[in-house]
Structure 1
Amino acid sequence: MFYHDNELQYEVEVEEPDPTFARALQQAIGGVEGEMRVANQYLFQAFAVPSDQQAYKELLLDTAAEELGHIEMLATAVKKNLRDTSVSLGDISSDDATGLASIAGMQPRQYLSGGMNPTATDANGFPFSGNYVVASGNIAADMVANVMAESTGRLLATRLYEMTDDPGMKDMLAYLVARDTMHQNQWLELLTELGDSEEPFDVLPIPDSFPDAEENEEFNYAFLSTNVEPTEDPEQPWTTGASPDGEGEFSYVRQLDLDGAPPDVGHAEAETYNDPTPRDEG
């Protein structure tokens, strides 16, 4: 069950409206790095958590609800940045460089589809896609995906921060950067708790419940070099020494030194009509 509060989670102020920045902010709403992605990701991950792991479910739901609040903050920022924006070239003189740049830089769908309001799209007007959402049912895999999502989200927020000189926008984005810092750390903490707390990589490889005996152990810790030039083991941390999960030793193997196998793929069934030969000549 969700409840709505009429106040924003954090103050959103815009001193100098900028329709070009309003377009950029759309990426943080409906883009692959955006808040719609993480809000839905955490919701669907929470729906899969078993009842005896209620603390994990509450953590995911709390953060999902917070991300919904971030969407509201960003939508408010978009709307304020579109304030008093002209949408007609007839209203702008030919020597008004700022006005012309304003129309050229805005996202047309914010006007055409939204009536000068935010939309559920990225900065290019592409609709949000549920394909961005990762909810695998394996909480360890999901936490790794969440760290990545918060990392790219924080990266986007820092780039947006550099794009604007508006004090209010910088303040809002500094807050969002800070929340992404927390979220990265809380997902890492949960990931660590899933295994031995003294071994941060104890849950690796994911899923660690697959029987070791069923895995091809000749290649499970082998770095395969696909370089066509003859090269020796560079003795990097990922080609020699113990693996982070503590279950194997890295090795270095050149793919060209291994025996390959022919694909040996036959023809499809006649009912597919893949054969280009005319029937009367077959």
Structure 2
Amino acid sequence: MEILRIFNNNVVLARAEHGGEVIVTGRGLGFQAKPGQRVDQEKVAKVFVPEDGRDPDNFGSLVAAVPPEYLVLADRALDTARAELGIALGSTTVIALADHLSFAIVRTEKNMPMSYPLRGEVVHLYPREYAAATKVLNYVNDRLDKPLAADEAVAITLHLVNAGFASGDLSYTYQMTGVFTQLFDIMGAANNRVFDRDSVNAARFITHLRYFFVRATTGRQLDERSGKLRDAIRDVYPDAHATAIKLQAVLELRLGVPLTDDEVTYLTLHVARMVDEDRAPEATAP
């Protein structure tokens, strides 16, 4: 690999053998090095590949801002989440978690606890990610002199959820979580009950909404023009459809895009499942 830019003594931008630009870390890797020189392979600790079209220079600056020991800690800790969730957690997630850990450790050392007001929503909406985040936190705490608070699992959960979406901006995941909570509140008010967010149908609904967010923000909503199916579902589940219309209004307002008729149809199916746990609609909702 050829050095293109030196960020600091431990982080450089390099051109890989395949021609792409990568961020390379390692103790003393950039010390007295110059652009054009070959990377000292014996010093390489980790190679980060910029994802989702991220600018390599900006990505390198992010990596350089994080202490190298936290990069290693985050990457190894995430191995537990990779095994738990069965998904790839790439460079973007490693850097985001490492950056979070570095600040969390400083806050802990200075006795500055962090409040996570979304804790209840996160635990109920993302149980698999929360379980994985707890394992990540346990791995980290086993290697710290002063362990982080248990609530740090909430922040780690959001990073894991964020990894499943096209956007690399964690604010997107915060927005999504807030919208989920609002939708459940609307369904509860419409049906005069509190829905169990730990149920199988709630998990299906949340999964559907997560992928809907991706479809909506990338302009790929469901649009099969299945008018007969829509009319049939509306006739069979009029109350669920009325509730789905309310959810549609909130989603359109929060996301700034109109929902297709098919998206509203599938919202109706999921609402019907939530309202009547014993009778699932015959059509299959994604």
Could you tell me the TM-score, scaled by structure 1's length?
0.29
Higher relative contact order (Cα pairs below 8 Å, separated by 6+ residues) = 1
Larger fraction in helix: 2
For the pair shown, which has the larger CA radius of gyration, 1 or 2? 1
Normalised TM-score (structure 2) = 0.29
